[in-house]
A and B are shown apart, each in its own frame.
Chain A
């Protein structure tokens, strides 16, 4: 079975500071991993994804994440937070099967607050 754990339901950083949002997964088969961002009363926007290949993945808005199989982690980082980064962030896991992408399993989410 697959699952996703996001450590910290709320993270607060100062503008310009490093952003680190933690995600650990459990999967019995090689996972596909995703980070999504959600602004209030809106749907989800894909930030980045890991499927195969390079373990350091760069996404939109300056975010990146590194797949670490030994740690079963896929933490999201951004070197310098901006006020516009304040939102809810979801880590999700899926895996490839014979038909392609399976359904997404989401973590509980982390609300990021950015202070001036």
Chain B
């Protein structure tokens, strides 16, 4: 299957700083990317959907000013957690698909710890 790479796999940052997570599709053009958040021992919660060149569509309850999503190219989407706080600590996972008829492939996730 297609490969989606997330970077970094782990990051620790200080409270109040911003952190950027990258999601890349390595062998296909990702017209749509999805960002999920996963709390310990829980399911995945969809945060937002982004289409290349368009503004992201955020799920209800997700702060768009806190979780900035950029999908500027067909192979890269970024999630920036701004002014991070300890409660933002979580596992963040992206997925990407090529075209509306394609299945989505998942990245390996990023463990964010805010201290």
For the complex, is A82 an interface residue (Cβ under 8 Å from B)? Answer: no
Query: Bound state CA distance, A30 and B9, in angstroms?
Result: 36
Q: Are B106 and A90 in contact (CB under 8 A)?
A: no
Q: Are B108 and A43 in contact (CB under 8 A)?
A: yes
Interface residues on A, range: 10 to 19
For the complex, is B67 an interface residue (Cβ under 8 Å from A)? Answer: no
Residues in A whose Cβ lies below 8 Å from that of B46: 103-104
A23 CB, min distance to chain B CBs, angstroms: 12
Q: Are A109 and B103 in contact (CB under 8 A)?
A: no
Interface residues on B, range: 20 to 34
A89 CB, min distance to chain B CBs, angstroms: 11
Name A residues whose Cβ lies closer than 8 Å to a Cβ of B: 36, 41-46, 49, 90, 99-101, 103-104, 106-109, 111
12 additional contacts (CB under 8 A) given A41-B111, A46-B1, A100-B102: A36-B106, A43-B6, A43-B108, A45-B106, A46-B103, A49-B103, A100-B101, A101-B101, A101-B103, A103-B34, A106-B43, A109-B42
Name B residues whose Cβ lies closer than 8 Å to a Cβ of A: 1, 4, 6, 9, 34, 41-44, 46, 49, 91, 93, 95, 97, 99-109, 111
